[in-house]
């Protein structure tokens, strides 16, 4: 039977659940057990799902700086009454005996009314508009005391040398702990365990708990994914895995927790997940992110994990006799912390000791539908106990080691400001640390970003929103043999969060030969994939006055004589949004070649409005042949991330799939079909196939990936043979058009089509791409092969086939215009001549 614990006497529960244990006291590793995989049963993290989801889930982002939530300037408690939602009997958590989303706000409102230790705030809304809650549990503070805590927190980051000398700070700074729950919607119990901890802290009457809360602030994002919690699905309402979005922050849920981690600057954070059969507690395996100050992390992460393991063992459940700690128990590459896309890894760059926690017993997906309700609820109770115990143990560790955690967060930021090299970590630094764990990088002195383009402005605003410090030159300057204009952006890498700046701006690293496999993506680069021109200065900072940047300078303009038609060159997604906006407004656009859209001079005012709204630049239109522009109407069998991007770019998109077509889809008005997921030509019934064939005789087609290549072959469109690379290969690649991104790369062979883009002679810039078998499926076989092809189909329309991933998780923003140009190119139009 599980061990019951009272709601009062919180410190007694801490002692029972989570005191620090030494490595010697921990259960020995079992080298014979196979490692679990993160989020079992999901397969490759490509979101290979049929196009579906709410039509209204996507909101186009406007140009300009991202808004960032900041806490109100008042003391604690901050007792705001949360709006309460109507009861929803369809909430999937109810079957498990867990708290439905509509039950959270009433519970928090009651706690705020009952306890002056509890504050609840709304820090954002989900993709479908539901409130995201941040609960803070701490002893009451006057406004003056809160301001002092804020000044101390800022000093730790802004002036760590002074913070290290500040005795009052060292004595009085409240240790921040952040718990993030339910980021995957169908991994429920982190929310319930967190609510239990909140209630216990709020209602305990013993002096030790009161003293703990005078030393500590516990921050809890109660559910990071209410849309998924209600629907019983992993992704949010836009179909995105929020725990893959932190470097990109395309989703409101990831932006909300970004703001929380910046505002709270936690010493320790947990991200509560499930289900791996055995409780899993990070630290992770190699490869470790090369931009971490890993010595400061691992000396806390490992003992904290051991403390959490001891806490779940004390629960007394047969399923909690031990935990898996990947750093201790798994082989390199089995459960890595390489990419900054996961919540704990992202939080590490803000000074936190981050942990993924995987509670043990599966209650989602097939188990949810097949297991008896009594068994599901039993499992959910065990999982809630585990979530409670791990949170409790992390609070214990933070309180017990407050001084060391404070000193190490100060040290992380001090190293950044000083521009010091990363520390060499010797073998045995903690038990099990060896050469396979040693990853590091050399930070450049600065990154330089020429201003004036939407891509540069977007990148700068993104960096600033993530608390990376960016400056702008007050006058022109020269650096490393280049001349730069006034207003050029400079990212001085002597800054507290240099690791975060570098992980976004560096190219990355080819780690193919260092580990046998990777859990998720292993290559990304805002510098290479976001479309901005970014230069690296290895040694020198420009000698020019610099001004801190809060928001990028406007980039929109109309640079053409008043009597000239206007041209917009498609270089960026902002250009595409402007074109689709003008087309939707009824402006009679034309095309000049594949990349230029012409606006008649009579519509200059509409162009000027678009320039200001989207930050794009119109120039004088070239003379010569033009083609009438037809606004595409897309039938799209695509993955959720692609659907999101297409709508964000302003396209009129109608999701389709095999099932939708078989049910009788109306092709009226559709100009273009996109296929990457969920559509099988062979799976269509005769009526659906006939309707599709009729469309293919007049419409255009754009495909991506294996599903698209299979569709191309089955529908007999282009005579291109698709060759598949290794399925889990991914990363930033060289192509003839510049850097691109791949996941499960494809290349095309044959004749009878035009090669639009080729892989480079040495394709992989950064990531993990090995051969499937000797001489097959690797980058050497892809070298110089066609990655994107186009042509007139055997049906009479036009088609473009992609073997790369230009829309992957909304990240490679510099490639969005390529996809749009392909859509416009295959959309049928008539030819005309401009005088």
**What is the set of active-site residues?**
358
- The C-alpha atoms of residue 126 and residue 132 are separated, in whole angstroms, by 7
Q: Where are the alpha helices (DSSP H) in 204-293?
A: 207-215, 226-231, 252-264
Measured from the Cβ of residue 190, the count of other Cβ atoms closer than 10 Å reads 33
- The C-alpha atoms of residue 206 and residue 12 are separated, in whole angstroms, by 9
* Complete edge-to-edge strand list for the sheet that includes strand 280-281: 118-125, 131-137, 216-221, 175-181, 268-274, 353-359, 280-281
453 CB contacts (<8 Å, ≥6 apart)? 531, 532, 533, 555, 571, 572
654 CB contacts (<8 Å, ≥6 apart)? 633, 634, 635, 636, 670
DSSP 601: G
- The C-alpha atoms of residue 181 and residue 760 are separated, in whole angstroms, by 43
732 CB contacts (<8 Å, ≥6 apart)? 507, 508, 523, 524, 525, 528, 529, 739, 740, 741, 764, 765, 766, 767
C-alpha distance from residue 23 to each of 304, 432, 531 (Å): 10, 10, 47
3-state SS assignment for residue 117: coil
- The C-alpha atoms of residue 474 and residue 646 are separated, in whole angstroms, by 38
Residue 416 near residue 496 (C-beta atoms within 8 A): yes
Backbone angles phi, psi at 486, to 5 degrees: -60, 145
- The C-alpha atoms of residue 529 and residue 811 are separated, in whole angstroms, by 8
- The C-alpha atoms of residue 740 and residue 289 are separated, in whole angstroms, by 22
C-alpha distance from residue 273 to each of 179, 376, 453, 649, 731 (Å): 11, 17, 40, 33, 26
Residue 405 near residue 268 (C-beta atoms within 8 A): yes
Tell me the chain's radius of gyration from C-alpha atoms: 27
511 CB contacts (<8 Å, ≥6 apart)? 287, 338, 518, 522, 767, 768
- The C-alpha atoms of residue 146 and residue 149 are separated, in whole angstroms, by 5
Residue 696 near residue 717 (C-beta atoms within 8 A): yes
Nearest to 136 by CA among 81, 77, 187, 185: 77
C-alpha distance from residue 688 to each of 658, 660, 694, 796, 797 (Å): 9, 9, 10, 19, 19
């Amino acid at each position: 039977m599980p061990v019951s614990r009272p709601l009062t006497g919180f410190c007694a529960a801490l002692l029972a659940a989570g005191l620090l244990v030494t490595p010697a006291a921990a259960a020995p590793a079992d080298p014979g057990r196979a490692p679990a995989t993160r989020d079992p049963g999901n397969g490759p993290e490509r979101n290979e799902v049929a196009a579906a989801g709410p039509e209204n889930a996507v909101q186009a982002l406007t140009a300009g700086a991202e808004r960032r939530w900041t806490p109100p300037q008042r003391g604690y408690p901050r007792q705001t009454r949360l709006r309460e939602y109507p009861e929803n009997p369809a909430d999937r958590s109810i079957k498990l005996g867990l708290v439905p989303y509509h039950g959270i706000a009433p519970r928090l409102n009651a706690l705020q009314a009952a306890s002056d230790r509890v504050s609840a705030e709304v820090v954002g809304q989900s993709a479908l508009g539901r409130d995201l809650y941040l609960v803070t549990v701490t002893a009451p503070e006057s406004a003056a005391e809160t301001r002092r805590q804020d000044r101390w927190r800022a000093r730790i980051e802004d002036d760590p040398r002074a913070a290290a000398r500040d005795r009052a700070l060292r004595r009085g700074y409240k240790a921040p702990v952040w718990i993030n729950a339910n980021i995957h919607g169908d991994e429920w119990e982190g929310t319930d365990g967190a609510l239990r901890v909140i209630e216990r802290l709020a209602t305990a009457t013993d002096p030790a708990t009161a003293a703990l809360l005078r030393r500590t602030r516990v921050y809890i994002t109660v559910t990071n994914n209410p849309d998924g919690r209600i629907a019983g699905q992993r992704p949010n309402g836009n179909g995105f895995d929020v725990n893959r979005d932190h470097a990109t922050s395309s989703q409101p849920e990831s932006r909300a927790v970004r703001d929380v981690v910046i505002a709270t600057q936690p010493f320790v954070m947990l991200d509560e997940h499930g289900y791996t059969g055995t409780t899993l507690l990070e630290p992770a395996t190699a490869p470790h992110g090369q931009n971490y100050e890993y010595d400061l992390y691992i000396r806390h992460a490992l003992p904290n994990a051991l403390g959490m393991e001891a806490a779940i063992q004390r629960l007394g459940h047969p399923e909690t006799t031990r935990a898996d700690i990947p750093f201790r128990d798994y082989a390199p590459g089995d459960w890595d912390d390489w990419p900054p896309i996961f919540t704990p890894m992202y939080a590490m760059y803000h000074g936190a000791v981050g942990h993924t926690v995987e509670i043990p017993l599966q209650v989602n997906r097939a188990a949810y539908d097949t297991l008896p309700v009594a068994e599901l609820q039993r499992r959910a109770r065990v999982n809630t106990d585990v979530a409670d115990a791990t949170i409790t143990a992390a609070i214990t560790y933070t309180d017990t080691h407050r001084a060391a955690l404070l000193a190490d967060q100060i040290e992380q930021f001090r190293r950044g400001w000083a521009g010091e090299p990363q520390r060499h970590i010797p073998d045995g630094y903690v038990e099990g640390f060896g050469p396979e764990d040693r990853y590091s990088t050399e930070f450049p002195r600065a990154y330089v970003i020429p201003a004036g383009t939407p891509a540069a402005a977007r990148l700068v605003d993104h960096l600033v929103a993530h608390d990376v410090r960016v400056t702008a030159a007050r006058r022109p300057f020269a650096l490393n043999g280049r001349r730069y204009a006034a207003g050029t952006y400079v990212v001085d890498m002597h800054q507290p969060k240099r690791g975060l700046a570098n992980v976004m701006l560096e190219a990355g690293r080819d780690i193919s030969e260092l580990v046998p496999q990777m859990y998720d993506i292993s290559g990304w680069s805002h510098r290479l994939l976001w479309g901005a021109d970014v230069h690296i200065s290895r040694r020198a900072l420009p000698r020019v006055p610099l001004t801190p940047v809060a928001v990028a300078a406007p980039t929109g303009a109309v640079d053409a004589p008043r009597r000239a038609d206007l041209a917009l060159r498609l270089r960026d997604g902002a250009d595409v949004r402007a074109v689709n906006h003008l087309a939707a407004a009824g402006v009679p656009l034309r095309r000049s070649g594949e990349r230029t859209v012409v606006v008649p001079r009579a519509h200059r005012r509409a162009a000027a409005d678009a320039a200001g709204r989207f930050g794009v630049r119109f120039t004088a239109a070239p003379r010569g042949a033009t083609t009438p522009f037809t606004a595409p109407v897309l039938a799209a069998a695509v993955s959720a991330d692609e659907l999101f991007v297409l709508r964000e770019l302003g396209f009129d998109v109608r999701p389709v799939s095999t099932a939708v077509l078989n049910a009788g889809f109306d092709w009226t008005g559709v100009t273009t079909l996109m296929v990457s997921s969920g559509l099988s030509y062979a799976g269509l019934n005769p009526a659906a196939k006939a309707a599709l064939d009729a469309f293919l005789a007049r419409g255009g087609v754009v495909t991506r990936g294996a599903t698209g290549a299979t569709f191309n072959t089955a529908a007999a469109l282009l005579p291109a043979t698709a060759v598949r690379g290794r399925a889990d290969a991914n990363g930033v690649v060289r192509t003839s058009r510049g850097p691109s991104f791949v996941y499960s790369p494809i290349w095309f062979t044959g004749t009878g089509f035009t090669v639009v883009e080729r892989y480079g002679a040495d394709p992989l810039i950064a990531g993990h791409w090995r051969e499937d078998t000797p001489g097959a499926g690797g980058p050497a076989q892809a070298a110089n092969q066609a990655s994107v092809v186009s042509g007139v189909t055997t049906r009479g329309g036009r088609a473009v086939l992609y073997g790369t991933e230009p829309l992957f998780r909304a990240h490679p923003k510099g490639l969005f215009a390529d996809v749009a140009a392909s859509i416009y190119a295959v959309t049928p139009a008539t030819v005309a001549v401009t005088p």
